[in-house]
A and B are shown apart, each in its own frame.
Chain A
Amino acid sequence: MEIGNTTDFTQGLNTVWVLLGAFLVFFMQAGFGMVEAGFIRAKNTCNILTKNFLDFCMASLGFFLIGYALMFGNGNGFTGLKGWCLFGLDPIANGIPLYAFWLFQAAFCGAAATIVAGGMAERMRFPAYLIYSFLISAFIYPVVGHWIWGGGWLSKMGFADFAGSTVVHTVGGFAALVGTSMLKPREGKYAIDGKSNVIAGHNIPLASLGVFILWLGWFGFNASSTLSVGNGSLIGRIAINTNLAAAIGGIVAMATVWKRFGKPDLSMAMNGALAGLVAITAPCAYVEPWAALVIGATAGYIVIRGVELIDKLQIDDPVGAFPVHGICGIWGTLCIGIFGKASLGLANNGFVYGGNPMQLGIQIVGSVSTIAFVVVSMSIVFKLIDLAVGLRIDREEELKGLDIGEHGMEAYGGFQIFSTM
């Protein structure tokens, strides 16, 4: 038996590793779909799943035609400008075949796009969503990606975001915030006197399956972002950090909600685990396991207070997309500047190791500029879509449900789903 030389073998092994990650991140699409479907009402389930399904299709297309060139092609500090449809690019990217690298990145792009579906659930028109999902994956996400991962101005500055707390989650979370604010709350969510009404999710088992799928997928999301196996020490550290942050996020969120409202609410505990995962995404490679626990625990607390805060502001986010992805995305990004260690591959030591605020300052600049770009560009995108095809469905259709109104079919055919909301 003959095997090729060790360079070939190493590249092959790294390719398998990255593709495994790509497949896991792709499966997170199913996780998002289940979480969102479970947290909304039965009458809109078909609609949210169609959005989840189609946005990955749209993201694949947009990221192939335009997105990859903007994100990773040669260009200037603001955007890449080469490699439309992957033409004219080096067949090897970052030590692995371009096509494998593309698939991994396309799966990330799909994740950013699908976060928004949950925030805008139960009242957004389907054609508007299709247009939105193409635009975010072809233009908005890749530009931020270029700044941070494609050699753009933030990466030159020393900004670090290992697996995408900013690139994926801050982008998705703030796009969701802009969208859900523009859409206004769902019918019946806020009473005339300002009181917030419960619009309970219809299937908690489905939502918890979704959280487990996301947790599983996150191991690919973070650990495969190394793009190589190395001697295994880095991917091992990332995997344990990812797991610890999720676990303690769930515990702290449950404890917080238990103390504040008297009962351990499963839906909030699950939001806490997701918050921990979002927060550890950026620092997973640069921190010790004890720091992962601190990061996950704080994220679990932040997400509960975030859900309460936006409800108080009467921003109706049915699945908590903004508190989980937006707020904890920022927190995770800043945590690099606090808990990051230079000996683990970071440019500067974090604040707790020597008290130098340099890295923290850079992280703040990166986070703030990403938020500013996303808020401005997504406001324009949603405004244009609103003018072109309309963003929100009419009241009667909302009451009847988007399954019938948009798709003419029901998620649970043969069952009588009654809803007085």
Chain B
Amino acid sequence: MKLVVAYIQPHKLKDVKHTLYKAQVYKMSVTNALGCGEQHGYEESYRGIKFEVNLLKKIRLEIAVNEDFVEKTVNAIIEGAKTNQIGDGKIFVLDLPECIRIRTGEKGKKAIG
């Protein structure tokens, strides 16, 4: 089992949800996040004083999948989030030792699916 974690541009969430849906990945968790990477911030000014906004708004996606779905999920996220510009985001794939469905107590592969 793997946990796919992706940071994407907020306005690309809709596209990514669409591509994931096409890849038959229907489950995900979404949280708001702040972060910075290669994309530098932007400048704001308030009453004549300028300041740099360095941490940008991002969306964090978490999707727990079985091994045979890892490739599909990652490709779907790339397809949906890619604009070829700095700031498109990153995907991390982590090992997931255990997964338990609270309602039934099922564990492992069954609990994910």
List residues of chain A with CB under 8 Å of any chain B CB: 188, 399-400, 404, 408-410, 413, 416, 418-421
Q: Are B44 and A404 neighbours in the complex by a CB distance under 8 Å?
A: yes
Quick check: is B45 within 8 A (CB to CB) of the other chain? yes
Could you jot down 18 A-B contacts, CB within 8 Å? A188-B14, A399-B11, A408-B43, A408-B45, A408-B50, A409-B44, A409-B45, A416-B32, A416-B34, A416-B57, A418-B32, A419-B10, A419-B11, A420-B10, A420-B11, A420-B14, A420-B59, A421-B14
Chain B, interface size category, equals 10 to 19
Measured CA separation A127–B89 after assembly (Å): 33
Question: B1-43 vs A: 1/0 string, CB under 8 Å?
Answer: 0000000001101100000000000000000101000000011
**In the complex, chain B residues whose CB is within 8 Å of the CB of A421:** 11, 14
**In the complex, chain B residues whose CB is within 8 Å of the CB of A416:** 32, 34, 57
How far is the CB of A14 from the nearest CB of chain B, in Å?
A: 43
**In the complex, chain A residues whose CB is within 8 Å of the CB of B46:** 409, 413
**In the complex, chain B residues whose CB is within 8 Å of the CB of A408:** 43-45, 50
Measured CA separation A386–B46 after assembly (Å): 29
How far is the CB of B98 from the nearest CB of chain A, in Å?
A: 31
**In the complex, chain A residues whose CB is within 8 Å of the CB of B50:** 408
Q: Are A404 and B14 neighbours in the complex by a CB distance under 8 Å?
A: no
How far is the CB of B39 from the nearest CB of chain A, in Å?
A: 12
Q: Are B45 and A418 neighbours in the complex by a CB distance under 8 Å?
A: no
**In the complex, chain A residues whose CB is within 8 Å of the CB of B57:** 416, 418
**In the complex, chain B residues whose CB is within 8 Å of the CB of A404:** 42, 44
Q: Are A420 and B44 neighbours in the complex by a CB distance under 8 Å?
A: no
Asked if A410 meets B10 with Cβ closer than 8 Å, knowing A416-B32, A416-B34, A416-B57, the reply is no
How far is the CB of B62 from the nearest CB of chain A, in Å?
A: 16
Q: Which 6 A-B pairs have the closest CB atoms?
A: A420-B13, A418-B32, A408-B45, A399-B11, A420-B10, A408-B44
